[in-house]
């Protein structure tokens, strides 16, 4: 009898010890989760949030693999990340997908995480870049207002790490915080960008250029690679309006903007500066490169077969270029550098117009203390 009680007490003690361990472990996880979430909530840009999720979730849960799938039907996420110079195409673990059928199929409209042994036929789409497949996984849907934003996918090389019927409270909580952060940031980015876009041509407006030129100059000082600027102006645009009407003029403006954009790289900055003027910033481009791109833009526009009401309408453009070389930079403030770069390109454009239009003129490397000298 006494022996039975001792054994029972021993079992109970062990059980309580186990419970205590679990409580301590959970409380530690909760603390780590809270600090993870506080940092996540403090991030500003989409690129920062994505990078943080991919790198820090791995540490938080001591995982082997983390991937993040995001639904990007209209390529908005890709555009936002490109303009922030975030290498989303090569970032391991990040997947942008155009349609949400992959989420609907896997989660089957169930808002709960899915977990268990890794089955390639179901899960490989969520871990495509991994050379070694996980043995067990947990996939948490990221949902806001009934819409799939994507999924957070965690993998372990241990088959007993994620087993069916395991509690998923922590991961569910984390997925809902991530969903709110991602949704808010996407909304803010969209508002920010739409207020910086010219509605007629769909390219950035002057306000955007004024913000970006300072960022591009700062990057150029860091990388020690030159930054070039093109100032473009449609020739005799008033005549187009006068002869064909304002609507035809608008149509030509949109065509020209699209044609310029086609000649640029994703991370070049194109903006409508005003009226029939555009400004382009070419990162990592020297004088020669800028001249070549400007010439390509000019000749493509001259070759456009623009027609209004069946009538051919020749359109040409004049371009002035300028280049900022960080190795020749003075200590002038970034705003002075920005103004000098744009003013030099504008002065070269004036020369191009004066010499007969439909041409490119190069003002060379800008001295960023130009304004002080003037
Ligand atoms: N259709 C249309 N016209 C615009 C818009 N913004 C400015 N313009 C017109 O663009 C014309 C610009 O004319 P000017 O500055 O005289 O220059 P230009 O005729 O292009 O001549 P050069 O630049 O010297 O070759 C004006 O007639 C403006 O009314 C716009 O959004 N839509």
pLDDT surpassing 50 at residue 374: no
User: Hey, what domains does the chain have and what are their CATH numbers?
Assistant: 42-194 (3.30.450.40), 206-373 (3.30.70.270)
Residue 353 near ligand 1, beta carbon < 6 Å: yes
CA of 35 to the centre of ligand 1 (A): 56
Q: What is the mean predicted confidence (pLDDT) over 214-223? A: 93
Sheet holding 114-117, edge to edge: 94-97, 65-71, 147-156, 136-144, 114-117
Residue 72 near ligand 1, beta carbon < 6 Å: no
pLDDT surpassing 50 at residue 373: no
Question: Cβ atoms within 10 A of the Cβ of 25, count?
Answer: 10
The residue assigned the tokens 């270029």 is 321
Cβ-contact 272, 203 below 8 angstroms: yes
Q: Cα torsion at 12, 18, 24, 27 (round to 10°)?
A: -100
Mutation to probe ligand 1, out of 275, 301, 315 (largest number of atoms < 8 A from CB): 275
Query: Which residues, listed in sequence order, are joined to residue 280 by a DSSP beta bridge?
Result: 230, 270
The model's pLDDT over 227-282, given as tens digits with 9 standing for 90+, comes to 999 999 999 999 999 999 999 999 999 999 999 999 999 889 999 999 999 999 99
CA of 347 to the centre of ligand 1 (A): 18
The model's pLDDT over 192-213, given as tens digits with 9 standing for 90+, comes to 778 899 989 999 999 999 999 9
Cβ-contact 172, 82 below 8 angstroms: no
Question: Cβ atoms within 10 A of the Cβ of 141, count?
Answer: 24
The model's pLDDT over 130-175, given as tens digits with 9 standing for 90+, comes to 678 899 999 999 999 888 999 999 999 999 999 888 888 889 999 9
pLDDT reported for residue 109? 67
Residue having the nearest C-alpha atom to atom 16 of ligand 1: 238
Q: Which is nearest to 271 in space by CA: 230, 240, 304?
A: 230
CA of 132 to the centre of ligand 1 (A): 60
Q: Which is nearest to 151 in space by CA: 100, 200, 202, 196?
A: 100
Note if the pTM is more than 0.90: no
Average predicted confidence (pLDDT) for the chain: 90
Angle ∠(134,138,142) on CA atoms, nearest 5: 130
Q: Which is nearest to 235 in space by CA: 361, 354, 358, 362?
A: 358
Q: Which is nearest to 114 in space by CA: 186, 56, 162?
A: 162
How far is the C-alpha of 95 from the C-alpha of 274, rounded, in Å? 38
Alpha helix stretches (DSSP H) within the chain:
2-41, 46-60, 76-83, 101-107, 120-123, 169-194, 206-223, 237-244, 246-262, 287-302, 334-354, 370-373
Mutation to probe ligand 1, out of 243, 276, 356, 359 (largest number of atoms < 8 A from CB): 276
pLDDT reported for residue 64? 93
What tokens appear for 135 in the block? 């043995």
pLDDT surpassing 60 at residue 372: no
The model's pLDDT over 25-82, given as tens digits with 9 standing for 90+, comes to 777 877 888 899 999 999 989 999 999 999 999 988 889 999 999 999 999 999 899 8
The model's pLDDT over 5-21, given as tens digits with 9 standing for 90+, comes to 888 888 888 888 877 88
pLDDT reported for residue 157? 94
Q: What is the mean predicted confidence (pLDDT) over 328-354? A: 92
pLDDT surpassing 70 at residue 368: no
pLDDT reported for residue 44? 85
The model's pLDDT over 281-339, given as tens digits with 9 standing for 90+, comes to 999 999 999 999 999 999 999 999 898 888 888 999 999 999 999 998 888 888 999 99
The model's pLDDT over 105-138, given as tens digits with 9 standing for 90+, comes to 888 767 789 999 999 988 988 987 767 889 999 9
């Amino acid at each position: 009898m006494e022996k039975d009680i001792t054994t029972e007490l021993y079992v109970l003690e062990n059980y309580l010890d186990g419970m205590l361990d679990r409580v301590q472990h959970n409380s530690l996880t909760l603390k780590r989760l809270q600090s993870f979430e506080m940092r996540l909530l403090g991030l500003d840009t989409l690129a920062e949030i994505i990078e943080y999720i991919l790198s820090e979730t791995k540490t938080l849960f001591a995982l082997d693999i983390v991937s993040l799938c995001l639904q990007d039907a209209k390529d908005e996420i890709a555009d936002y990340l490109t303009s922030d110079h975030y290498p989303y195409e090569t970032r391991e673990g990040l997947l942008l997908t155009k349609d949400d059928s992959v989420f609907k199929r896997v989660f089957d409209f169930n808002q709960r995480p899915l977990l268990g042994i890794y089955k390639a036929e179901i899960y490989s789409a969520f871990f495509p870049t991994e050379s070694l497949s996980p043995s067990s996984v947990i996939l948490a849907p990221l949902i806001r207002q009934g819409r799939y934003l994507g999924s957070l996918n965690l993998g372990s090389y241990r088959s007993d790490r994620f087993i069916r019927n395991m509690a998923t409270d922590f991961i569910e909580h984390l997925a809902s915080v991530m969903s709110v952060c991602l949704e808010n940031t996407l909304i803010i980015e969209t508002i920010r960008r739409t207020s910086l876009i010219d509605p007629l041509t769909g390219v950035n407006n002057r306000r955007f250029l004024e913000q970006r030129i300072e960022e591009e100059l700062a990057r150029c000082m860091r990388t020690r690679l030159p930054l070039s600027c093109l100032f473009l102006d449609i020739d005799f645009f008033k005549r187009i309006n006068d002869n064909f009407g304002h609507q035809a003029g608008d149509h030509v403006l949109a065509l020209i903007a699209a044609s310029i954009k086609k000649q640029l790289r994703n991370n070049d900055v194109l903006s409508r500066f005003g009226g029939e003027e555009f400004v382009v910033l070419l990162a990592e481009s020297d004088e020669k490169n800028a001249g070549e791109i400007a010439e390509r833009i000019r000749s493509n526009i001259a070759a456009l077969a623009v027609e209004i009401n069946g009538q051919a309408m020749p359109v040409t453009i004049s371009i002035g270029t300028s280049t900022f070389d960080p190795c020749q930079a003075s200590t002038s403030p970034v705003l002075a550098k920005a103004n000098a770069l744009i003013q030099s390109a504008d002065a070269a454009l004036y020369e191009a117009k004066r010499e007969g239009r439909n041409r490119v003129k190069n003002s060379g490397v800008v001295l960023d203390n130009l304004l002080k000298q003037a």
